[in-house]
């Protein structure tokens, strides 16, 4: 793949006082023009025009013209010699978006480019907060509405290594690498927090209540005033996760134990050999846990401090291990993120009130597609070949009927986005405006002069359908003799007509 930057010598449609005019007669009535300067060995030294409409050129009596300053694409003067100007007029080629592959979160062009989910939090209306890593290495707090057509709202972007989320009635509490931040649930605006925000181990919220755990104690606050409502000191062991109940709180120790706070700490009996990694608030006075069994498998379980274990959900065989959990106090409903061999899954699950098991609200999988290719005649998330060229049959140029009509097009990455160009590097057609892609591929379509174009940025693979690729006409704009950057034989003067 080639990345290139095109530097224009003069403003569009203008020529500098010392530029060499380059003139040509287009064989069609309209289209987009790409024009290059080639050395005597046939190598492209300068992209002079990159998808220019006719209106960007000077229009003369016998065709179109622009200027060349004698520099190559790096801005250096070219060596002495004979150079050729030639290009293509690209007509009515159709480009249509077809699909997003290997990432169920990405449903449309405006979906956040999620690569992985670090933490989730359910809101009272069924929306879900995600702390997610995006393509390009950025992190963002985004809000997802599974029941709405307006699914996404990117709330705030920030750097993060480890994250926890909690949500009160109005504020999302975001714990990033031990530092607590507040973000408004409606717009993501920063909310100043009049509490200790550094060296926080865990955060929990429930309606108008907030709890913060540090190395010394759990402190309870009333929202939105942030009045201190009490402290749970004398921690029974180093704690790692915290959840609020209707009455008191529960916490998970770093050793996998579970503790309940009312007026003092008491240990909660758990199954033999099980270790709890995360606790989360549940309906009424229940709580949910991410439980790691003695054999290394994981499950989500619901508990009552009085009645014990109420329900359990385990991933299907081969479904991966659970890495994060978040539930809601409004109903028996949780989200869990799982590590799977080829990526990550995030599920949202409700417990049916009639005792009929579990109801999946959604199941979103991200498959690692950073090394996508073409294998066995189909798109593959990894491995296989990465074809970059297709051959098309061009429209005949009536001004040069003897010219070859066979053209090889190459999928290429420029800094401005993925393009189709010639094998020598002249860009002809921008496929999309995205500039974060790092891999492209093209294969022939089912009919002549059609193709399937694929591009990936690490979050997914986008597919485009290209048709009418033969509507490309080549043309020759003559030769120019240069002596160390200066023209030695200029073309004849032509009076120009400004439209």
Give residue-wise pLDDT tens across range 200-232.
Answer: 999 999 999 999 999 999 999 999 999 999 999
Are 395 and 362 part of one and the same domain? no
Interacting residues of 348 by C-beta distance below 8 A, sequence separation 6+? 122, 128, 146, 333, 334, 335, 360, 361, 362, 363
Contacts 24+ apart (CB under 8 A), 158-166: 160/118, 160/131, 162/118, 163/118, 163/119, 163/131, 163/139, 164/119, 164/202, 164/203, 165/119, 165/120, 165/121, 165/129, 165/131, 165/141, 165/326, 166/121, 166/203, 166/204, 166/205, 166/210
Strand partners, 210: 205, 221
Of the given ranges (251-255, 260-264, 413-417), which has the lowest mean pLDDT? 413-417
492 within a domain of the structure (yes/no) = no
CB 251 within 8 A of CB 213: yes
Residue 357 and residue 315 in one domain: yes
Whether 272 is covered by a domain: the verdict is: yes
Q: Are residues 409 and 318 in the same domain?
A: no
With bands split at pLDDT 50, 70 and 90, how would you rate the model's confidence at 355?
low
Is position 238 within any domain? yes
pTM of the entire structure? 0.85
Question: Cβ of 12: how many Cβ atoms within 10 Å?
Answer: 12
Q: pLDDT digits over 270-285, tens only?
A: 888 889 999 999 998 9
pLDDT mean over 289-303: 93
* Average pLDDT value over all residues in the chain: 88
- On whether both 174 and 260 belong to a single domain, the answer is yes
Task: Quickly state the pLDDT bin for 60 (edges 50, 70, 90).
Answer: confident
Summarised one tens digit per residue, pLDDT across range 108-166 is 888 999 999 999 999 988 899 999 999 988 889 999 988 777 788 887 787 777 889 99
311 pLDDT exceeds 70?
yes
12 within a domain of the structure (yes/no): no
Report residue 418 CA to chain centroid gap.
15
61 and 130 co-located in one domain: no
Domain assignment present for residue 13? The answer is no
Pairwise CA distance, residues 413 & 432, whole Å: 11
Does 26 score more than 50 pLDDT? yes
Domain match, 214 and 355 both: yes
Q: Is the pLDDT of residue 63 over 70?
A: yes
- The domain of 448 spans 94-99+370-470
Q: What is the pLDDT of residue 138?
A: 86
Tokens linked to 441: 């591929």
Same domain, 359 and 386: no
Evaluate whether residue 8 is within a structural domain.
Answer: no
Assign residue 45 the CATH number of its domain. 2.60.40.4070
How far apart are the two ends of the chain, measured CA to CA in Å?
Answer: 40
Q: Answer yes or no: do 282 and 387 share one domain.
A: no
pLDDT for res 433: 78
In a shared domain, residues 327 and 401: no
Domain ends where: 344, 367, 390?
Answer: 367
Q: Is the domain of 462 the same as that of 479?
A: no
Q: What band does 4 get if pLDDT is binned at 50, 70 and 90?
A: very low
Same domain, residue pair 169 and 211: yes
Separation CA 108–CA 136 (nearest Å):
18
Please tell me the total count of domains within the chain.
3
Domain with 115 in it: what CATH number? 2.130.10.10
Provide the percentage of residues in the chain whose pLDDT is more than 70: 91
In this structure, what token pair is assigned to residue 307? 């009645």
Please give the DSSP secondary-structure letter assigned to residue 190: B
Residue 9 placed within a domain: no
Measured CA to CA, the distance from residue 412 to residue 432 in angstroms comes to: 12
The answer to the question of residue 458 being in a domain is yes
Per the model's pLDDT, the better-predicted residue between 28 and 82 turns out to be 82
* Token digits of residue 315: 């991933």
Same domain, residue pair 75 and 64: yes
């Amino acid at each position: 793949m080639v990345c290139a930057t095109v530097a224009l010598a003069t403003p569009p449609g203008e020529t500098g006082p010392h530029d060499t005019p380059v003139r040509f007669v287009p064989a069609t009535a309209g289209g987009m023009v790409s024009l290059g300067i080639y050395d005597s060995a046939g190598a492209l030294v300068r992209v002079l025009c990159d998808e220019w409409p006719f209106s960007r050129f000077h229009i003369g009596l016998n065709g179109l013209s622009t200027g060349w300053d004698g520099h190559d694409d790096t801005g250096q003067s070219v060596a002495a010699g004979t150079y050729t100007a030639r290009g293509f007029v690209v007509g009515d080629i159709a480009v249509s978006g077809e699909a997003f592959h290997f990432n169920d979160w990405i449903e449309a062009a405006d979906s956040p480019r999620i690569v992985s989910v670090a933490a989730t939090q359910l809101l009272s209306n069924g929306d879900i907060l995600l702390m997610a890593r995006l393509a390009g290495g950025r992190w963002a707090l985004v809000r997802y509405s599974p029941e709405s057509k307006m699914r996404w709202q990117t709330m705030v972007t920030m750097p993060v290594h480890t994250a926890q989320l909690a949500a009160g009635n109005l504020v999302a509490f975001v714990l990033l690498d031990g530092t607590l931040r507040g973000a408004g649930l409606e717009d993501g605006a920063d909310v100043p927090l009049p509490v200790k925000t550094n060296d926080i181990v865990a955060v929990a919220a429930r309606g108008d209540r907030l709890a913060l755990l540090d190395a010394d104690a759990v402190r309870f606050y009333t929202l939105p005033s942030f009045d201190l409502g009490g402290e749970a000191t004398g921690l029974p062991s180093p704690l790692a996760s915290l959840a609020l109940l209707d009455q008191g709180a529960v916490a998970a120790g770093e050793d996998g134990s579970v503790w309940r706070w009312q007026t003092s700490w008491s240990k909660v009996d758990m199954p033999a050999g099980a270790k709890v990694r995360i606790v989360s608030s549940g309906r009424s006075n229940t709580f949910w846990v991410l439980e790691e069994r003695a054999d290394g498998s994981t499950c989500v379980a619901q508990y009552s401090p009085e009645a014990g274990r109420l329900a359990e959900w385990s991933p299907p065989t081969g479904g991966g291990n659970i890495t994060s959990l978040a539930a809601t106090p409004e109903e028996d409903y949780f989200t869990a993120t799982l590590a799977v061999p080829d990526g990550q899954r995030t599920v949202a699950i409700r417990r049916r009130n009639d005792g009929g098991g579990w109801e999946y609200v959604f199941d979103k999988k991200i498959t690692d597609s950073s090394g996508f290719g073409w294998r066995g005649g189909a798109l593959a998330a990894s491995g296989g070949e990465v074809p970059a060229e297709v051959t098309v049959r061009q429209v005949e140029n009536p001004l040069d009927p003897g010219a070859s009509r066979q053209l090889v097009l190459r999928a290429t990455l420029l800094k401005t986005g993925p393009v189709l160009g010639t094998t020598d590097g002249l860009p002809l057609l921008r496929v999309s405006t995205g500039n974060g892609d790092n891999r492209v591929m093209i294969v022939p379509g089912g009919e002549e002069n059609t193709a399937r174009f694929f591009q990936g940025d690490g979050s997914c693979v986008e597919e485009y359908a290209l048709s009418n690729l033969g509507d490309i006409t080549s043309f020759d704009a003559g030769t120019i003799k240069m002596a160390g950057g200066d023209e030695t034989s200029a073309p004849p003067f032509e009076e120009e007509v400004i439209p």
